[in-house]
Structure 1
Amino acid sequence: MSNIRITKQFSFETGHALYGYDGKCKNVHGHSYKLSVTVIGQPISDSSNVKFGMVIDFGDLKKIVKEEIVDVFDHATVFNKNTPHVELAKELSDRGHHVILVDYQPTSEMMIIDFAKKIMKHLPDNIKLHSLKLQETETSFAEWYAEDN
C-alpha cells in the first residue's frame, strides 16, 4: 500500500517578545499564526474499520493539535522564562492575562520545534509526523521536516 501525506491547517493568535533582540521584535507584539501539520502513513485497509481508507481521521488530528497547541497558545503571550521577561509575565498573569513561559526564545523556529515534540507524542504508532509549517506573517514562516531531524 502507498504512503499518503495528510495535511490539516490551524490558525491562532499569539503574542510574544524576544528578549535581547536588536530589532522591533524585542517589544511585546502578536501574530496571526497559521500552522500546517502534515502526517504520513498508509490508509487503513480493513474494510470493517469505520475509518477504512483514511490515513488518520482529520478530526483525530485536529483534536491532538487543538489540545496541545491551538487551545494553549491562542490569545496567550509567550515569554522565555530564563530572561527578565519573567517579571513582565508575572505582572500580566497577576492581571488575568494568559501567559506561557517556555525554556526557549519564542521565535517561530523554536516554537515549531516545541510543536513537533508535542504532536509526535500523541500520534498513533503507524502515523509519523512528516512536516510542520508555522507562518508568522504573510511572507515569513518556519518549516520543520522529520527527514531533517
Structure 2
Amino acid sequence: MGKIRITKQFTFETGHALYGYDGKCRNVHGHSYKLSVTVIGTPISDTSHVKLGMVIDFGDLKKIVKEEIVDPYDHATIFNKNTPHIELAKELMGRDHKVILADYQPTSENMVIDFAGKINARLPKTIVLHSLKLQETATSFAEWYAADN
C-alpha cells in the first residue's frame, strides 16, 4: 500500500504587531488565520485495528493542532519578546489579556516555522508532517514544506 497525504484545516483569530516594520502592520491588528496541516503516512492495514484504512484519525490530528496551536493562539496577541513591545505585552497581561511572547518577529513566515516544530513534536512516529499553509488574509499566506527543511 502506498503513502497517502491527508489534510485538516483549522481557523483561529490572532492579533500581532511587527516591531520596527515600515508599514501599517507595525500597529497592533488581527487576522482570521486559516491553517492547513498535511501529513503523510500509510493507511493502517491491520484488519483488527479500530482505525483500519486511516493514515491518522482526523480527530487525533485535530487534538494535536488544537492543543498546540488553536487553543493557545485563538484570541491572543503575539509579540516579539525581544523588542520594546514587551512593555505593551506586560500591560495587556496585567489587564488579563491573552498574550503570547515569541522569540521571533510574529510574521506568518516565522509563525508557520514555529507551528511546524510544535506539531512535529506531537505526531506519532509513523506519521510525517508534509506541509503547513498559514493563510493570513484571503490573498496572503506562508507555506512550510518538510522537503525544504
Q: TM-score range by the shorter chain?
A: over 0.9
Query: Aligned residues, how many?
Result: 149
> Would you say 1:4 and 2:4 are equivalent positions?
yes
Deviation at 1:115, TM superposition (A): 0.1
Residue of structure 2 in register with 1:78 after alignment: 78
User: What are structure 1's unaligned runs of at least 5 residues?
Assistant: none
Partners of 1:81 and 1:55 lie apart in 2 by 38
Residue of structure 2 in register with 1:103 after alignment: 103
Runs of 4+ residues over 3 Å off in structure 1: none
Residue of structure 1 in register with 2:91 after alignment: 91
The percentage of aligned residue pairs carrying the same residue is 81
Residue of structure 2 in register with 1:147 after alignment: 147
After TM superposition, the score normalised by the length of structure 1 is: 1.00
Q: CA RMSD in A?
A: 0.3
CA displacement 1:78-123 (0-9 Å, x = unmatched): 0000000000000001011000000000000000000000000000
Partners of 2:116 and 2:37 lie apart in 1 by 9
Residue of structure 2 in register with 1:126 after alignment: 126
Partners of 2:103 and 2:124 lie apart in 1 by 27
Partners of 1:53 and 1:107 lie apart in 2 by 38
Residue of structure 2 in register with 1:115 after alignment: 115
User: What are structure 2's unaligned runs of at least 5 residues?
Assistant: none
Letter in 1 for 2:56: I
CA displacement 1:39-61 (0-9 Å, x = unmatched): 00000010100000000000000
Residue of structure 1 in register with 2:61 after alignment: 61
Residue of structure 2 in register with 1:40 after alignment: 40
Residue of structure 1 in register with 2:23 after alignment: 23
Deviation at 1:138, TM superposition (A): 0.1
Partners of 1:71 and 1:98 lie apart in 2 by 11
Letter in 1 for 2:10: F
Partners of 1:119 and 1:95 lie apart in 2 by 30
Deviation at 1:21, TM superposition (A): 0.3
Partners of 1:61 and 1:105 lie apart in 2 by 27
After TM superposition, the score normalised by the length of structure 2 is: 1.00
